């Protein structure tokens, strides 16, 4: 797919508070007249006129349809030109490294999986740079058309400094990811834990788009939670918010690799599910085979699902009520079981609320993005930095 775009001389303009605010409103509403932008942003008509003129000069905003007159000049609606701005997205997991180019709507323009021969940081990140450059060339997109690169990493991240503090999955400790990438890419780099990135995917592109408080529960490769409060990602002062996989939930539950019993991780990590199915049947199955066994009502597969459902339901109810969630999204393998997992968790949550006398509606859903959730989250991370005024320097 070849995309030809007019060059953008600088992205400095859209880093300003006022321009970022205007772009955020246009991004959320699709198109607006200048008078609507004045009302929605609280800025003066003169300020809006100036900002729109500057954004149009850059080719970032275009004029579109003309509205009906209400007695004066007919309003002209403006919108973001989605063919001018793109995002690089990177997913880094031990067995799943992918680089992609996305547009502002979250549509994947192109992507390529990396098969690293080593997880040594400098080597793997050099492959990331080479792959991104190759995708840009293939799509006909220049570097100045890229808002930034988002990186979703499995592990505890100091996102402000761009450092992976600890990743058991990758075997990394104190790796300055953004510094390494910046030596080869003249682009803004943003990095976040993969569960947090997934929460941003739902906030900007998914089922939490029109909500204030939402949560993403990451499953399958482990357990983690991304938390959005008042449309803001919560990471905590020590970057541990959402690191919930090893907080015991089930009394005298399944043993966990951390040495405790009843943590969420042994109920949602597919490696543990594989092992328990093998212990019961002597058969080693993969992910697709397990899904098919559940659909065929295999006794042992259903037994494992019925163990996981209450653990996830407890997690949803505990954390969802504590944080007053509007939407909880379950990602990974377990989000694919609508009746066995999603409906079970929704009904359990409703019963808890009913018993406590709280009248409150919440939606528990499975993600619609599948394996691309982390990539969309990485893109959401870039959009979050550019189009959320509170984060603009």
Alpha-carbon torsion, ordered 173, 221, 253, 242, to 10 deg = 60
pTM here is: 0.85
Strands (E), the chain: 32-33, 61-66, 76-80, 86-93, 96-103, 108-114, 146-153, 156-158, 163-167, 172-176, 189-193, 214-218, 224-229, 232-234, 327-330, 363-366
Per-residue model confidence (pLDDT) at position 163: 93
Residue pair 215/225 in contact by the 8 Å Cβ criterion: yes
* pLDDT cut 90: percent of the chain above it: 59
Q: What is the mean pLDDT of residues 180-200?
A: 91
Quick one: pLDDT band at residue 257, thresholds 50, 70, 90? confident
Residue 239 DSSP one-character state: S
> Higher model confidence: residue 142 or residue 380?
380
Q: How confident is the model at residue 392 (pLDDT cuts 50, 70, 90)?
A: very low
- Where does the chain hold its CATH 3.30.420.40 domain(s)? 86-201+374-391, 209-368
The chain-wide mean pLDDT, for the chain, equals 88
Assess whether pLDDT exceeds 80 at residue 390: no
pLDDT at 7 over 60: no
- Enumerate the CATH 1.10.10.10 domain ranges in the chain, comma separated: 13-80
- Name the nearest CA neighbour of 167 among 153, 152, 151: 153
Reported as a pLDDT band with limits 50, 70 and 90, residue 203 is very high
Cα torsion 166, 171, 173, 177 to 10°: value is: -90
For position 137, what pLDDT does the model report? 92
Q: What is the pLDDT of residues 229-242, one digit of tens each?
A: 998 899 888 888 88
Question: Would you tell me which CATH number, out of the four given (1.10.3720.10, 1.10.10.10, 3.40.1190.20, 3.40.50.970), belongs to the domain 13-80?
Answer: 1.10.10.10
- Judged against a pLDDT cut of 90, whether residue 125 lies above it is answered with yes
More confident: 20 or 39 = 39
User: Taking residues 18-43, what's their average pLDDT?
Assistant: 88
- Positive or negative, the Cα torsion across 284, 288, 293, 299? positive
Q: What is the DSSP string of 245-276?
A: TTS--STT--B-TTS-BS-SHHHHBHHHHHHH
What is the predicted pLDDT for the residue at 268? 95
CATH architecture of residue range(s) 209-368: 2-Layer Sandwich (3.30)
Query: What average pLDDT does the segment 148-154 reach?
Result: 93
pLDDT at 5: 34
Q: Going by CATH, does the domain composed of 86-201+374-391 fall within 3.30.420.40? A: yes
For the cut 70, the answer to whether the pLDDT of residue 13 exceeds it is no
Encode 339-352 in three state secondary structure: HHHHHHHHHHHHHH
Residue 100 pLDDT: 97
């Amino acid at each position: 797919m070849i995309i030809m775009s007019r060059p953008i001389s600088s992205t400095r303009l859209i880093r300003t508070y006022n321009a970022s605010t205007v772009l955020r409103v246009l991004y959320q509403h699709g198109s607006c007249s200048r008078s609507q932008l004045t009302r929605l942003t609280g800025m003066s008509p003169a300020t809006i006129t100036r900002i729109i003129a500057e954004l149009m000069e850059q080719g970032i905003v275009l004029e579109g349809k003309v509205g009906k007159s209400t007695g004066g000049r007919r309003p002209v609606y403006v919108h973001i030109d989605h063919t001018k701005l793109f995002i690089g997205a990177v997913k880094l997991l031990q067995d799943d490294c992918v680089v992609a180019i996305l547009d502002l709507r979250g549509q994947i323009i192109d992507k390529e999986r990396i098969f690293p021969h080593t997880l040594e940081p400098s080597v793997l990140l050099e492959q990331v740079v080479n792959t991104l450059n190759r995708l840009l060339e293939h799509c006909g997109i220049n570097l100045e058309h890229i808002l930034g690169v988002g990186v979703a990493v499995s592990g505890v991240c100091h996102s402000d400094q761009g450092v992976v503090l600890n990743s058991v999955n990758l075997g990394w400790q104190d790796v300055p990811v953004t510094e390494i990438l910046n030596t080869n890419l003249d682009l803004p780099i943003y990095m976040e834990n993969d569960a947090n990135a997934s929460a941003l995917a739902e906030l900007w592109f998914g089922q939490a788009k029109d909500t204030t408080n939402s949560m993403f529960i990451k499953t399958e490769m482990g357990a983690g939670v991304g938390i959005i409060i008042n449309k803001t990602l919560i990471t905590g002062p020590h970057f541990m918010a959402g690191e919930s996989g090893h907080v015991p939930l089930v009394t005298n539950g399944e043993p966990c690799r951390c040495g405790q019993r009843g943590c969420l991780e042994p109920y949602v990590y597919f490696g543990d599910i594989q092992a328990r199915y093998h212990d019961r049947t002597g058969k080693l199955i993969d992910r697709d085979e397990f899904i098919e066994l559940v659909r065929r009502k295999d006794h042992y597969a259903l037994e494992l699902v019925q163990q996981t459902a209450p653990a996830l339901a407890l997690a949803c109810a505990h954390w969802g009520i504590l944080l007053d969630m509007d939407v909880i999204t379950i990602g990974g393998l377990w989000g694919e079981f609508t009746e066995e997992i999603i409906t079970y968790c929704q009904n359990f949550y409703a019963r808890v609320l009913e018993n406590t006398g709280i009248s409150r509606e919440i939606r528990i859903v499975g993600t619609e993005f599948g394996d691309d959730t982390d990539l969309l989250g990485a893109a959401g991370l870039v959009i979050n930095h550019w189009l959320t005024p509170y984060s603009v320097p």
